[in-house]
Copies of this chain bind each other. A is one copy, B any other.
Amino acid sequence: MKQKVTLTQAWQGNADCLHCAIRSSALFSGLTEKDFEMIHEPVGQVTLEPGCVIYKEGDAGHHLFTVRSGLVKLVQYLSDGTQRIVRLAHSTDVVGLEILVADNYAHEAIVLHTAELCRYPKDAVNLLSQHNPVLHKDLMTRWQKALSDADDWLTRLSTGPAKKRVANLLLRLVDKETTECFLFGRDDVGSILNITVETASRVIAEFKREGLIEQLGHNHFKLDIAALEAIAAG
């Protein structure tokens, strides 16, 4: 796992939320111009490279983040020091929601695929959510989505034999249009599926030999979706 890049103070302020490309599904979609005037700290945006740490577990913080593009992993460290990835956040997902009601982040957030992020000050979100019913409901919906994702993670990615888990992971990462999929290090695959690096590698190699996935480049595959779904259903 690379960890070369660190989050320097590269945030560029004054994102243009009113004309944001993903606004309809962004956190501040329900806000009016008047609402934006109430925010003193500007909404910042930044692009981060793989390996970059957005925040660490236990960090005090005052921001939550929307993932505009790319992929971010949320990691928790176990008592024995090993790490377990408890969620993946991709476009339109919010990470760091917990900072709205807690003082510290619950996970370590690390970029897996180059990601564009927006950053919101928690105080502004807390304040606005009490006056703006749309934002209020949107927040609830995001909590619900996070919880539903967590349940899905447990039932699909942490249950059953290794082949089934890997198939489910690939299907979750695939672009349905192109049937292509960008993967990442085998150690991360293992941390997600709760299997060892070797087992992850073995299963992926076997999928390649059996033609279920075709390698297009470094961690870049074309999937046989139907066949993988058969395995995923198990």
Residues of A participating in the B interface, judged by any CB pair closer than 8 Å: 76, 78-80, 84, 86, 97-98, 100-102, 106-107, 129-130, 133, 136-137, 139-141, 143-144, 146-148, 150-151, 153-155, 158-160, 194, 232-234
Centre residue among A97, A137, A151, A234 by max chain B CB count within 10 A:
A151
Number of copies of this kind of chain in the complex: 2
* Beta-carbon nearest neighbor of A138 in chain B: B101
A-B contact pairs, 27 of them (CB 8 A): A76-B151, A76-B155, A78-B159, A78-B160, A79-B234, A80-B233, A80-B234, A84-B154, A84-B155, A86-B154, A98-B144, A98-B147, A98-B148, A100-B140, A101-B137, A101-B141, A102-B144, A107-B151, A130-B136, A136-B136, A140-B143, A143-B143, A146-B147, A150-B151, A154-B154, A158-B158, A158-B194
